[in-house]
Amino acid sequence: MDLLIENVQRVVTLNALKVELFKKFWEVRDLKKGEYLLYQGQVCRYDAFVLSGSLKGYFVNPTSYKEEVAFFAIEDWWATDLDSFHNMLPSMLNIQALEKTQVLQITKERFETLLCELPELERYFRVILQSYANALLKRIYLRNAISAKERYTKFLEQYPTINQKIPQYMIASYLGMSAEMLSKIRSGSA
């Protein structure tokens, strides 16, 4: 729980009373390696913050039936299908634990109550979403602007720990390149 509180306090200040109130809204959930936080087609009932471990958000390509990685969520990050959570729509994503993982989760109803009781959190979530939207926009244009090799280098900078943990084909999918291309880059032949 401390990790989430620190994350929030980086943006807004909560006094001790408010921190106690804040804590009551969240429940801890433990996931085994391979366990699903969300299945594609289900409504995403929880917003989740990663305390430890890591998850991937992915969908199955309806044409090729291949898995396509939309995001990785590691410690101190959020793992949610925003559209599904906020609009109660079927999710386009699966979210699955890549290893033993612990998250804090909150339902939509409780999320709305939390924001009513601690309206200063609107600012926190606004700032978080700003960074997130910005990261997504960067990803869209970097995909066009820089080479596969540079994209991989940037990925290693952004996710230094995840590279060891997960199969290369998932990283290739996330980076929008073939597994063969990634293998060439890693071996230094591309």
Of all residues in the chain, what percent are helix, strand and coil, respectively (each to 5)? 45, 25, 30
Measured CA to CA, the distance from residue 169 to residue 152 in angstroms comes to 13
Nearer to a copy of itself, 76 or 122 (CB): 122
The amino acid sitting at 174 is Y
Binding to a copy of itself (CB under 8 A): which residues in 36-95? 59, 61-63, 68, 70-71, 82-83, 86, 92
CB of 11 to a copy of itself, least distance (A): 11
Question: In angstroms, rounded to a whole number, what is the distance separating the alpha carbons of residues 74 and 97?
Answer: 10
Using rule CB under 8 A, residue 132 touches a copy of itself? yes
Report the alpha-carbon distance of residue 75 to residue 160 in Å, rounded.
Answer: 12
For the bound state, the minimum distance from the C-beta of residue 137 to a copy of itself, rounded and expressed in Å, comes to 6
Binding footprint of a copy of itself on the chain (CB under 8 A): 59, 61-63, 68, 70-71, 82-83, 86, 92, 115, 119-120, 122-123, 125-126, 129-130, 132-134, 136-141, 144-147, 176
